[in-house]
Each structure stands twice: as structure tokens, then as C-alpha cells.
């Protein structure tokens, strides 16, 4: 399959007063053209650090690339200079940030924020750029775009602000959009509208999407491929069907079991995952899920589990699937 992005053995750390935090520890995944890849996991698992590293938006220091590569159309982002990255950001790769309430500049008119990237990357008059901004606002279903373009963010609702954020991300027709928890701050009905809008834009423009989320419902609705991340590593990777219906990793199993289901009785309790993720100041030598796993074995504690394949594109990092694990029967 033709991939627009190939991340290989990516390692990112933060230098802090207390020592080094190994936030991303050897992450590899591909993003095929025109498809959506979801990176899912608990807060602090490294998914947003991974997303920001693709845009080279991590502050250095304290963050630094410790190893690996991020190949965007065959070129390594890690090796790009700040100037080269300014040309890539917004034009080839764009980002929709988590919170539309705080991500827009409150002192700038919405129209000026939409055309900022366009004016920077293309030789275009302000008038033409404004016409394009009105077009894109209509495309993301902002009513009365001609008037709204001259308003400030505080005059927009949360859902409308997120539409503006998507318009900013789309104005240069990027090849890859990274959406970091794009619906977390929105209520459920607006969330559904925003997800439908992203799907529509992807169909029309053929861009690839990396969707960062902790919401498995959003993953099921939007994605072609899923990366389950935990403690800076990918523990399971597969298609949406693999992850939801042929789940292999004990962490993914627990993650799915912690979701509310329609067939639950009102007295049924949600199954929380006991314990907390490991401290990444001192990352564990073995399986990062060891302390919370009800299937943990002696081998898991100090030995990193191998990656095993469970069908095309379905991988899992767990000792339960090693050749020497005793089989039943
Ligand atoms: Fe559990 Fe061991 Fe598998 Fe880790 S490697 S998830 S501790 S069984």
C-alpha cells in the first residue's frame, strides 16, 4: 500500500530537572494515503507527543528526538530545518488542535486567521485570499460565511469554532491532517457533526488523517487502522475490525471492557483498569502493562514482549502469543 507517512522506531524524550522522561519509546506505524489512522490510549501514553513530533512542534529543549525516523513522502521530518518545516506546516501537513476555545487567537478576526497561512505560502492578494476563506467556511458549513469572516472567535459557539479550526487546517489542501482530540471539548451532537464533516472533507480531497483520541467510539466511526498506545509504545495495531472483534492484547481487552455498553443493566459497574501506567522516568525493562495485567507471567516483568502477527496488518506485543507459551488442549 502507498503510505504518505512512515514512522520507524521513533524515540522522544524530555530532559527535566528530575531526569529524562522517555515519552515515546520505539514507535513504528504507517499512514496510507487517503486513510484514517487512529492513535488511541490513556492520557499520558505519548499519543500527543507522537503527533506533535510529526509537525516538529515539540519545544526543544526540553524535548529531543532520541532515535528513529518520520518519513513524510519519503523525506525524514526529523532532519528538516526550522525553515523547511515552516514550508511543510499548514501546506502539506496541518493540525487541528484539541480545544477550539483556546486555540484560536481571540484578538484576530476569524477570516484573518484562516488566510494567514494562505498569504504566507502563496502569492495571492488579500481579496482573493478572503474569497477562498469564504469558500472554505461554506465548505465546513459555517452559515453566513460572508459576515462571519469579519467576526471574532468569541462570537462563535464551540462547534462553530472547531469548524473554523478545520477551515484553517484545510485552506492549503494538505496531504495529511493531524487531528488531536478534535471533539473532546464538544457536546455529543456537535461531535457527530464535526466527525461527519471530517469524513466528507476526506472523501472530497483524499487527504490522510491521523486521529489522536482516547474515545473508542470516535475510533470505530472514523478509522481504517488503529494503533493502541501505552506507556510510549504501540501494544496492538490492526484494522478497526481486528481491534474491536479480534482483540489480542490484554490492555486493549481491558480498554474495551471499560466502555459502557447498550446492553448493560443500570446496576452493572464499568470495569475500570486498576493501577496506573508506569513512571517513564524509570521505564520498565519488560512489559509496560505488567503491573496492571491479570495475565502477567514471570517472563513479562523484565523482558520486553516480542511483536507477533495475527493476520495481515494485525500486530500485538505480548508474551501470551510467543511460540513457547503453553497452548491449551
Ligand atoms: Fe500481560 Fe505479560 Fe502480555 Fe504484558 S506481556 S500484557 S504482562 S501477559
pLDDT for 140 equals 83
In the predicted structure, residue 329 carries a pLDDT above the cut 60: no
Categorise residue 275: left if φ over 0, alpha if ψ from -120 to 50, beta otherwise: left
Tell me the per-residue pLDDT of 93-109, one tens digit each, with 9 for 90 and over: 998 887 777 888 999 99
Atom of ligand 1 nearest to the CA of 301: 7
Quick check: CB of 253 below 6 Å from ligand 1?
no
Q: What is the C-alpha to C-alpha distance for residues 137 and 148, in angstroms, rounded to an integer?
A: 9
Q: Which atom of ligand 1 is nearest to the CA of 319?
A: 5
What three-state secondary structure class fits 298?
A: helix
Q: Which three cell numbers stand for residue 162?
A: 472547531
Distance 234 CA to ligand 1 centre (A): 13
pLDDT in tens, 117-146: 888 888 888 888 899 889 888 888 888 999
User: pLDDT digits over 289-323, tens only?
Assistant: 999 999 999 999 999 999 999 999 999 999 999 88
User: Computed from CA positions of residues 71, 74, 79, 81, in that sequence, does the dihedral angle turn out positive or negative?
Assistant: negative
How much distance in Å is there from the Cα of 313 to the middle of ligand 1?
20
> Is it the case that residue 185 has pLDDT exceeding 80?
no
Whether residue 164 contacts residue 197, with contact meaning beta carbons closer than 8 Å, is answered with: no
* Res. 209 pLDDT band, cuts 50 70 90: very high
pTM above 0.85, yes or no: yes
| Burial (Cβ within 10 Å: 0-12, 13-18, ≥19) of residue 80 | middle
Looking up cell 487567537, which residue turns up? 105
Amino acid at each position: 500500500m502507498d503510505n504518505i507517512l512512515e514512522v520507524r522506531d521513533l524515540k522522544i524524550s524530555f530532559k527535566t530537572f528530575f531526569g529524562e522522561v522517555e515519552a515515546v519509546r520505539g514507535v513504528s506505524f504507517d499512514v496510507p494515503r487517503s486513510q484514517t489512522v487512529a492513535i488511541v490510549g490513556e492520557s499520558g501514553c505519548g499519543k500527543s507527543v507522537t503527533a506533535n513530533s510529526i509537525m516538529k512542534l515539540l519545544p526543544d529543549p526540553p524535548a529531543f528526538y532520541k532515535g528513529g525516523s518520520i518519513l513524510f513522502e519519503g523525506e525524514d521530518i526529523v532532519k528538516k530545518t526550522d525553515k523547511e518545516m515552516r514550508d511543510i506546516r499548514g501546506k502539506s501537513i496541518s493540525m487541528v488542535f484539541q480545544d477550539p476555545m483556546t486555540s484560536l487567537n481571540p484578538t484576530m478576526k476569524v477570516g484573518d486567521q484562516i488566510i494567514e497561512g494562505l498569504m504566507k505560502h502563496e502569492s495571492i492578494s488579500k481579496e482573493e485570499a478572503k474569497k477562498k476563506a469564504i469558500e472554505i467556511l461554506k465548505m465546513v458549513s459555517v452559515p453566513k460565511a460572508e459576515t462571519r469572516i469579519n467576526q471574532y472567535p468569541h462570537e462563535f459557539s464551540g462547534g462553530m469554532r472547531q469548524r473554523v479550526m478545520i477551515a484553517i487546517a484545510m485552506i492549503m489542501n494538505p496531504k495529511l491532517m493531524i487531528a488531536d482530540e478534535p471533539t473532546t471539548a464538544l457536546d455529543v451532537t456537535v461531535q457527530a457533526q464535526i466527525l461527519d464533516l471530517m469524513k466528507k472533507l476526506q472523501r472530497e480531497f483524499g487527504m490522510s488523517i491521523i486521529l489522536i483520541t482516547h474515545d473508542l467510539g470516535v475510533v470505530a466511526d472514523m478509522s481504517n487502522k488503529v494503533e493502541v498506545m501505552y506507556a510510549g509504545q504501540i501494544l496492538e495495531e490492526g484494522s478497526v475490525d481486528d481491534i474491536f472483534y479480534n482483540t489480542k492484547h490484554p490492555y486493549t481487552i481491558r480498554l474495551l471492557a471499560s466502555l459502557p455498553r447498550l446492553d448493560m443493566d443500570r446496576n452493572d459497574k464499568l470495569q475500570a483498569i486498576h493501577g496506573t501506567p508506569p513512571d517513564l522516568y524509570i521505564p520498565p525493562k519488560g512489559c509496560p502493562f505488567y503491573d496492571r495485567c491479570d495475565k502477567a507471567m514471570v517472563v513479562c516483568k523484565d523482558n520486553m514482549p516480542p511483536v507477533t502477527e495475527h493476520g495481515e496488518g494485525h500486530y500485538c506485543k505480548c508474551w501470551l502469543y510467543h511460540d513457547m507459551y503453553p497452548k491449551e488442549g
